[in-house]
Amino acid sequence: MKITLILLMLSVTLVFSAEFPKDKLPAHIILEQETGERPDWHPTSSDKYIFLDKPGGKPFEKTISTGEVRSILPPDCNNCRLWRIYYLKNGDYLMTIGPSRDSATIHIVDKDLDKPAWNTGVIAHEGVAVSRHTWQLAWTNGPDIHYGEIAYGNDGVPTLEIIRVILNVDELKVRDQNIPGEGAGATQYLHYHEPQNWRPPQDRELIFSRYGTSITGKYSAEVWTWNMDTDEIKNISNRHAYYDEPEGVFPDGQHTLVECDMYLPVSQHAQILDLYMMPLDSTGNRMVRLTYFGDYKMPNSDITYKANQGVISEDGKYMLFGEGRSNTNDQPGTGYGIYLFDFEAAGINVNPGVGVDTSKIDPVRSNSLPEGH
Protein backbone atom coordinates (compact mmCIF):
# COMPACT_ATOMS: atom_id res chain seq x y z
CA MET A 1 0.00 0.00 0.00
CA LYS A 2 2.85 2.41 0.85
CA ILE A 3 4.53 1.87 -2.52
CA THR A 4 1.19 2.41 -4.27
CA LEU A 5 0.67 5.70 -2.46
CA ILE A 6 4.19 6.89 -3.33
CA LEU A 7 3.68 6.06 -6.99
CA LEU A 8 0.31 7.82 -6.95
CA MET A 9 1.90 10.91 -5.40
CA LEU A 10 4.62 10.83 -8.05
CA SER A 11 2.13 10.61 -10.91
CA VAL A 12 0.03 13.45 -9.49
CA THR A 13 2.90 15.87 -8.96
CA LEU A 14 4.52 15.39 -12.35
CA VAL A 15 3.70 17.32 -15.47
CA PHE A 16 6.44 16.10 -17.83
CA SER A 17 6.40 12.61 -19.37
CA ALA A 18 8.67 10.82 -21.84
CA GLU A 19 7.50 10.99 -25.44
CA PHE A 20 10.54 9.91 -27.49
CA PRO A 21 9.36 7.13 -29.86
CA LYS A 22 10.29 3.80 -28.28
CA ASP A 23 10.74 2.14 -31.67
CA LYS A 24 13.66 4.51 -32.32
CA LEU A 25 15.55 3.39 -29.20
CA PRO A 26 18.43 0.95 -29.72
CA ALA A 27 18.39 -2.24 -27.65
CA HIS A 28 20.96 -0.87 -25.20
CA ILE A 29 18.74 2.09 -24.19
CA ILE A 30 15.49 1.61 -22.29
CA LEU A 31 13.02 4.03 -20.76
CA GLU A 32 13.75 3.49 -17.06
CA GLN A 33 11.43 6.07 -15.49
CA GLU A 34 8.62 7.62 -17.52
CA THR A 35 8.66 10.87 -15.54
CA GLY A 36 11.41 12.72 -13.75
CA GLU A 37 14.68 14.54 -14.25
CA ARG A 38 18.24 15.09 -12.94
CA PRO A 39 19.10 11.54 -11.81
CA ASP A 40 22.08 10.79 -9.57
CA TRP A 41 23.49 7.30 -9.03
CA HIS A 42 23.96 5.81 -5.57
CA PRO A 43 27.69 6.01 -4.69
CA THR A 44 28.06 2.23 -4.26
CA SER A 45 25.23 0.71 -6.30
CA SER A 46 24.16 0.58 -9.93
CA ASP A 47 20.69 -0.54 -8.82
CA LYS A 48 19.57 2.66 -7.11
CA TYR A 49 19.32 6.33 -8.00
CA ILE A 50 17.58 9.54 -6.93
CA PHE A 51 15.75 12.05 -9.08
CA LEU A 52 13.41 15.04 -9.04
CA ASP A 53 9.89 14.88 -10.39
CA LYS A 54 10.11 18.33 -12.00
CA PRO A 55 11.93 21.69 -11.67
CA GLY A 56 11.32 23.00 -8.17
CA GLY A 57 9.61 19.71 -7.37
CA LYS A 58 10.00 16.78 -4.97
CA PRO A 59 12.81 14.18 -4.56
CA PHE A 60 12.47 10.44 -4.99
CA GLU A 61 14.69 7.36 -4.82
CA LYS A 62 14.23 4.34 -7.08
CA THR A 63 15.50 0.77 -6.89
CA ILE A 64 15.79 -0.46 -10.48
CA SER A 65 15.57 -4.20 -9.81
CA THR A 66 12.28 -3.94 -7.91
CA GLY A 67 10.83 -0.80 -9.48
CA GLU A 68 10.17 0.59 -5.99
CA VAL A 69 10.00 4.38 -5.81
CA ARG A 70 10.02 6.14 -2.45
CA SER A 71 9.80 9.75 -1.43
CA ILE A 72 12.94 11.18 0.16
CA LEU A 73 11.36 14.51 1.05
CA PRO A 74 12.91 15.76 4.31
CA PRO A 75 10.68 16.20 7.37
CA ASP A 76 8.93 19.57 7.68
CA CYS A 77 9.52 20.23 3.98
CA ASN A 78 6.12 19.65 2.41
CA ASN A 79 6.10 23.09 0.81
CA CYS A 80 9.77 23.05 -0.20
CA ARG A 81 10.88 23.47 -3.81
CA LEU A 82 13.89 21.37 -4.74
CA TRP A 83 16.18 22.05 -7.71
CA ARG A 84 19.12 19.64 -7.41
CA ILE A 85 19.71 16.45 -5.42
CA TYR A 86 22.86 14.37 -4.95
CA TYR A 87 24.12 11.50 -2.87
CA LEU A 88 26.98 12.13 -0.46
CA LYS A 89 29.58 9.40 -0.04
CA ASN A 90 27.96 8.17 3.20
CA GLY A 91 24.51 7.84 1.63
CA ASP A 92 23.16 11.12 3.02
CA TYR A 93 21.68 13.56 0.52
CA LEU A 94 22.61 17.05 -0.61
CA MET A 95 19.64 19.05 -1.84
CA THR A 96 19.30 22.63 -3.05
CA ILE A 97 16.06 24.07 -1.72
CA GLY A 98 14.53 27.50 -2.31
CA PRO A 99 11.92 29.55 -4.15
CA SER A 100 13.94 29.55 -7.42
CA ARG A 101 16.96 27.75 -8.83
CA ASP A 102 19.05 30.93 -8.56
CA SER A 103 18.21 31.45 -4.89
CA ALA A 104 18.25 27.85 -3.61
CA THR A 105 20.51 27.05 -0.66
CA ILE A 106 22.52 23.90 -0.02
CA HIS A 107 20.91 21.53 2.50
CA ILE A 108 22.28 18.30 3.99
CA VAL A 109 19.65 15.60 4.59
CA ASP A 110 20.16 12.53 6.77
CA LYS A 111 19.59 9.33 4.81
CA ASP A 112 17.23 8.06 7.52
CA LEU A 113 14.97 11.06 6.91
CA ASP A 114 14.34 11.32 10.64
CA LYS A 115 15.37 14.94 11.13
CA PRO A 116 14.83 18.22 9.26
CA ALA A 117 17.26 19.18 6.51
CA TRP A 118 20.25 21.20 7.72
CA ASN A 119 20.44 24.48 5.82
CA THR A 120 24.00 25.69 5.18
CA GLY A 121 22.69 29.11 4.17
CA VAL A 122 24.92 28.95 1.09
CA ILE A 123 23.21 29.86 -2.19
CA ALA A 124 24.16 27.69 -5.14
CA HIS A 125 23.25 28.97 -8.58
CA GLU A 126 22.64 25.93 -10.76
CA GLY A 127 24.32 22.68 -9.68
CA VAL A 128 26.85 21.59 -7.08
CA ALA A 129 29.96 19.51 -7.80
CA VAL A 130 29.75 16.81 -5.12
CA SER A 131 32.72 14.50 -4.62
CA ARG A 132 31.77 10.82 -4.49
CA HIS A 133 34.94 9.92 -2.56
CA THR A 134 35.63 12.91 -0.27
CA TRP A 135 33.63 15.66 1.44
CA GLN A 136 34.55 18.30 -1.16
CA LEU A 137 31.93 20.56 -2.73
CA ALA A 138 32.08 23.31 -5.33
CA TRP A 139 29.30 25.70 -6.32
CA THR A 140 28.87 29.02 -8.09
CA ASN A 141 27.19 32.33 -7.39
CA GLY A 142 27.68 33.29 -11.04
CA PRO A 143 31.06 35.05 -11.32
CA ASP A 144 32.76 33.01 -8.58
CA ILE A 145 33.16 29.29 -8.00
CA HIS A 146 33.35 28.51 -4.29
CA TYR A 147 34.87 25.54 -2.46
CA GLY A 148 33.84 23.99 0.83
CA GLU A 149 34.07 20.74 2.78
CA ILE A 150 31.36 18.96 4.76
CA ALA A 151 32.31 17.93 8.29
CA TYR A 152 30.21 15.94 10.76
CA GLY A 153 30.49 16.70 14.47
CA ASN A 154 30.44 14.13 17.25
CA ASP A 155 26.70 14.67 17.47
CA GLY A 156 26.31 13.84 13.78
CA VAL A 157 25.36 17.39 12.84
CA PRO A 158 27.03 18.50 9.58
CA THR A 159 28.81 21.79 9.01
CA LEU A 160 30.30 23.39 5.90
CA GLU A 161 33.92 24.40 6.43
CA ILE A 162 36.98 25.82 4.62
CA ILE A 163 34.73 27.95 2.41
CA ARG A 164 36.67 30.01 -0.12
CA VAL A 165 36.57 31.33 -3.68
CA ILE A 166 38.69 29.19 -6.00
CA LEU A 167 37.83 30.65 -9.43
CA ASN A 168 36.68 34.13 -10.48
CA VAL A 169 35.51 35.06 -13.97
CA ASP A 170 37.64 38.21 -14.25
CA GLU A 171 40.71 36.37 -12.98
CA LEU A 172 40.10 33.58 -15.50
CA LYS A 173 39.99 36.06 -18.36
CA VAL A 174 43.35 37.46 -17.28
CA ARG A 175 44.81 33.97 -17.06
CA ASP A 176 43.44 33.19 -20.55
CA GLN A 177 45.97 35.64 -21.99
CA ASN A 178 48.76 33.23 -21.14
CA ILE A 179 47.02 30.04 -22.30
CA PRO A 180 47.72 28.93 -25.91
CA GLY A 181 44.56 28.73 -27.99
CA GLU A 182 42.57 31.17 -25.86
CA GLY A 183 41.83 34.84 -26.55
CA ALA A 184 41.42 36.07 -30.12
CA GLY A 185 39.95 33.42 -32.40
CA ALA A 186 38.58 31.39 -29.49
CA THR A 187 35.40 31.36 -27.41
CA GLN A 188 34.59 34.74 -25.90
CA TYR A 189 33.59 33.82 -22.38
CA LEU A 190 30.68 35.31 -20.47
CA HIS A 191 30.73 36.33 -16.80
CA TYR A 192 29.46 32.98 -15.68
CA HIS A 193 30.79 29.48 -15.13
CA GLU A 194 29.52 26.32 -13.43
CA PRO A 195 31.18 23.46 -11.52
CA GLN A 196 30.17 19.99 -12.67
CA ASN A 197 32.23 17.14 -11.17
CA TRP A 198 35.35 16.16 -9.26
CA ARG A 199 37.61 14.06 -11.46
CA PRO A 200 38.00 10.51 -10.10
CA PRO A 201 39.62 8.58 -8.70
CA GLN A 202 41.62 11.12 -6.62
CA ASP A 203 39.05 13.93 -6.89
CA ARG A 204 41.81 16.55 -6.90
CA GLU A 205 40.62 18.24 -10.11
CA LEU A 206 37.37 20.12 -10.58
CA ILE A 207 35.65 19.80 -13.95
CA PHE A 208 33.69 22.95 -14.77
CA SER A 209 31.91 24.69 -17.64
CA ARG A 210 32.76 28.05 -19.12
CA TYR A 211 30.01 29.59 -21.22
CA GLY A 212 30.40 32.12 -23.99
CA THR A 213 30.08 32.96 -27.68
CA SER A 214 31.75 30.51 -30.06
CA ILE A 215 33.80 31.35 -33.14
CA THR A 216 30.58 30.70 -35.12
CA GLY A 217 28.79 33.41 -33.15
CA LYS A 218 26.59 30.97 -31.21
CA TYR A 219 26.09 30.38 -27.49
CA SER A 220 28.66 27.79 -26.48
CA ALA A 221 30.40 25.99 -23.64
CA GLU A 222 33.89 24.62 -23.05
CA VAL A 223 35.07 21.92 -20.65
CA TRP A 224 37.75 23.12 -18.20
CA THR A 225 39.55 21.67 -15.18
CA TRP A 226 41.08 23.27 -12.10
CA ASN A 227 43.79 21.41 -10.18
CA MET A 228 43.44 22.04 -6.45
CA ASP A 229 47.06 21.09 -5.76
CA THR A 230 48.71 23.30 -8.40
CA ASP A 231 45.95 25.89 -9.13
CA GLU A 232 46.43 25.06 -12.84
CA ILE A 233 43.45 25.59 -15.15
CA LYS A 234 43.18 23.79 -18.45
CA ASN A 235 40.79 23.78 -21.41
CA ILE A 236 39.88 20.13 -21.88
CA SER A 237 37.59 20.36 -24.90
CA ASN A 238 39.36 22.99 -27.07
CA ARG A 239 36.48 22.90 -29.57
CA HIS A 240 35.59 26.55 -30.03
CA ALA A 241 33.02 25.92 -32.80
CA TYR A 242 30.81 23.65 -30.67
CA TYR A 243 28.77 23.55 -27.49
CA ASP A 244 30.44 21.09 -25.07
CA GLU A 245 28.97 21.13 -21.56
CA PRO A 246 30.37 18.49 -19.20
CA GLU A 247 27.94 16.22 -17.41
CA GLY A 248 28.69 12.90 -15.67
CA VAL A 249 32.30 11.73 -15.42
CA PHE A 250 33.45 8.14 -15.94
CA PRO A 251 34.97 6.42 -12.88
CA ASP A 252 38.33 5.94 -14.61
CA GLY A 253 38.71 9.72 -14.72
CA GLN A 254 39.73 9.55 -18.36
CA HIS A 255 36.43 10.50 -19.97
CA THR A 256 33.47 12.76 -19.32
CA LEU A 257 30.03 12.98 -20.80
CA VAL A 258 29.26 16.20 -22.62
CA GLU A 259 26.07 17.66 -23.98
CA CYS A 260 27.11 18.59 -27.49
CA ASP A 261 25.63 19.96 -30.72
CA MET A 262 28.11 18.25 -33.06
CA TYR A 263 26.56 16.48 -36.10
CA LEU A 264 23.29 18.27 -35.41
CA PRO A 265 21.70 21.32 -37.06
CA VAL A 266 23.12 24.67 -36.07
CA SER A 267 21.37 25.63 -32.86
CA GLN A 268 21.19 28.65 -30.62
CA HIS A 269 21.57 28.54 -26.82
CA ALA A 270 22.22 24.80 -26.63
CA GLN A 271 18.79 23.88 -27.91
CA ILE A 272 19.57 20.72 -29.91
CA LEU A 273 21.95 18.43 -28.07
CA ASP A 274 22.99 14.82 -27.65
CA LEU A 275 25.34 13.07 -25.23
CA TYR A 276 28.91 12.27 -26.23
CA MET A 277 31.89 10.72 -24.50
CA MET A 278 34.92 13.02 -24.49
CA PRO A 279 38.47 12.05 -23.47
CA LEU A 280 39.84 14.35 -20.76
CA ASP A 281 43.07 14.89 -22.68
CA SER A 282 42.67 18.50 -23.92
CA THR A 283 42.60 17.46 -27.60
CA GLY A 284 38.87 17.52 -28.33
CA ASN A 285 39.48 14.44 -30.50
CA ARG A 286 37.94 10.96 -30.46
CA MET A 287 34.49 12.21 -29.48
CA VAL A 288 32.02 9.33 -29.30
CA ARG A 289 28.33 9.98 -29.85
CA LEU A 290 26.17 7.94 -27.46
CA THR A 291 22.62 9.17 -28.09
CA TYR A 292 20.66 10.16 -31.21
CA PHE A 293 17.68 11.99 -29.76
CA GLY A 294 18.53 15.14 -31.68
CA ASP A 295 17.89 13.34 -34.96
CA TYR A 296 14.14 13.26 -34.29
CA LYS A 297 11.37 15.84 -34.04
CA MET A 298 8.16 15.61 -32.08
CA PRO A 299 5.13 14.63 -34.19
CA ASN A 300 3.72 17.50 -36.24
CA SER A 301 6.17 19.91 -34.64
CA ASP A 302 9.46 21.71 -35.22
CA ILE A 303 10.50 20.89 -31.65
CA THR A 304 13.41 18.44 -31.55
CA TYR A 305 14.17 15.91 -28.85
CA LYS A 306 17.49 16.05 -27.05
CA ALA A 307 19.38 13.96 -24.49
CA ASN A 308 20.67 15.64 -21.34
CA GLN A 309 21.69 15.27 -17.68
CA GLY A 310 23.80 12.14 -18.23
CA VAL A 311 25.41 10.46 -15.18
CA ILE A 312 27.61 7.35 -14.98
CA SER A 313 27.28 4.57 -12.40
CA GLU A 314 30.21 4.04 -10.06
CA ASP A 315 31.08 0.73 -11.76
CA GLY A 316 31.10 2.43 -15.17
CA LYS A 317 28.56 0.01 -16.63
CA TYR A 318 25.51 2.22 -17.00
CA MET A 319 24.41 5.73 -17.82
CA LEU A 320 21.20 7.41 -16.74
CA PHE A 321 20.07 10.42 -18.75
CA GLY A 322 17.07 12.60 -19.37
CA GLU A 323 14.87 13.34 -22.35
CA GLY A 324 14.74 17.03 -23.19
CA ARG A 325 13.17 19.34 -25.73
CA SER A 326 14.60 21.98 -28.02
CA ASN A 327 13.21 25.43 -28.70
CA THR A 328 11.07 25.62 -25.56
CA ASN A 329 10.97 28.00 -22.64
CA ASP A 330 11.16 25.33 -19.94
CA GLN A 331 13.58 25.64 -17.04
CA PRO A 332 17.14 24.77 -18.17
CA GLY A 333 17.69 21.04 -17.86
CA THR A 334 13.99 20.18 -17.65
CA GLY A 335 13.60 16.43 -18.06
CA TYR A 336 10.81 14.36 -19.57
CA GLY A 337 11.64 10.93 -18.22
CA ILE A 338 14.83 9.03 -17.41
CA TYR A 339 16.58 6.49 -19.65
CA LEU A 340 19.09 3.72 -18.89
CA PHE A 341 22.06 3.13 -21.22
CA ASP A 342 23.85 -0.25 -20.92
CA PHE A 343 27.45 0.10 -22.17
CA GLU A 344 28.10 -3.64 -22.42
CA ALA A 345 24.90 -4.18 -24.39
CA ALA A 346 26.02 -1.35 -26.67
CA GLY A 347 29.17 -3.29 -27.49
CA ILE A 348 31.43 -1.11 -25.36
CA ASN A 349 33.77 -3.22 -23.25
CA VAL A 350 33.52 -2.45 -19.57
CA ASN A 351 36.28 -2.70 -16.98
CA PRO A 352 34.31 -3.07 -13.72
CA GLY A 353 35.15 -0.40 -11.21
CA VAL A 354 37.39 1.40 -13.70
CA GLY A 355 35.31 2.56 -16.62
CA VAL A 356 34.94 1.78 -20.30
CA ASP A 357 37.28 0.69 -23.05
CA THR A 358 36.44 2.80 -26.08
CA SER A 359 38.67 0.81 -28.45
CA LYS A 360 35.77 -1.51 -29.39
CA ILE A 361 33.28 1.20 -30.30
CA ASP A 362 31.95 1.04 -33.85
CA PRO A 363 33.16 4.38 -35.29
CA VAL A 364 30.46 4.37 -37.97
CA ARG A 365 27.49 3.93 -35.65
CA SER A 366 28.97 6.14 -32.92
CA ASN A 367 29.99 9.02 -35.20
CA SER A 368 33.37 8.93 -33.51
CA LEU A 369 35.32 12.05 -34.41
CA PRO A 370 38.70 11.17 -35.95
CA GLU A 371 41.83 12.87 -34.73
CA GLY A 372 42.57 16.20 -36.29
CA HIS A 373 38.92 17.26 -36.56
Question: Which residue, among 99, 146, 143, 142, has the nearest Cα to 122 in the 3D structure?
Answer: 146
Give the torsion through C-alpha atoms of 115, 80, 307, 310, to 10 deg. -20
For the chain, give the percent of residues with pLDDT over 90. Answer: 69
341-364 CB burial, b ≥16 within 10 A, e <16: bbbeebebebeeebbbebeebeee
Residues 6+ apart with CB under 8 A from 303: 297, 325, 326, 327, 328
Residue 343 maps to a domain: yes
Q: Domain tally for the chain?
A: 1
Task: Answer yes or no: is 102 within a domain.
Answer: yes
Q: How far apart are the first and last CA of the chain?
A: 56
pLDDT on residue 218: 82
Measured between alpha carbons, how far is residue 226 from residues 52, 200, 313 in Å?
29, 13, 23
- Over 60: is that where the pLDDT of 203 sits? yes
Higher-scoring residue by pLDDT: 183, 174: 174
What is the torsion angle, in degrees rounded to the nearest 10, for the CA atoms of residue 256, residue 50, residue 290 and residue 298?
-130
Q: Which residues pair with 82 in a beta bridge?
A: 57, 97
- 373: in domain: no
CATH code, 64: 2.120.10.60
Is 256 within a domain? yes
238 falls within a domain: yes
Higher pLDDT, 215 or 31: 31
What are the C-alpha distances in Å from 360 to residues 178, 277, 346, 347, 356?
Answer: 38, 14, 10, 7, 10
Could you read off the pLDDT of 64-114 as tens digits, one per residue? 999 999 999 999 999 999 999 999 999 999 999 999 988 999 999 999 999
Q: pTM of this prediction?
A: 0.89
Strands 244-249 and 233-235: unpaired
Domain that holds residue 323: 2-366
Name the strand (E) or helix (H) holding 34: none
Q: Give CA–CA dist 309/259, Å, rounded.
A: 8
Question: Average pLDDT, stretch 175-197?
Answer: 91
Question: Would you say residue 371 lies in a domain?
Answer: no
For residue 224, the model assigns a pLDDT of 96
Give the pLDDT mean for 3-13.
46
Asked if the model's pLDDT at residue 49 lies above 50, the reply is: yes
Q: Specify the pLDDT at position 362.
A: 39
Is the CB of residue 258 less than 8 Å from the CB of residue 247?
yes
If pLDDT is split at 50, 70 and 90, which confidence band does 329 have? low
At 266-318, the pLDDT tens digits run: 655 567 889 999 999 888 778 889 999 999 999 998 888 999 999 999 999 99
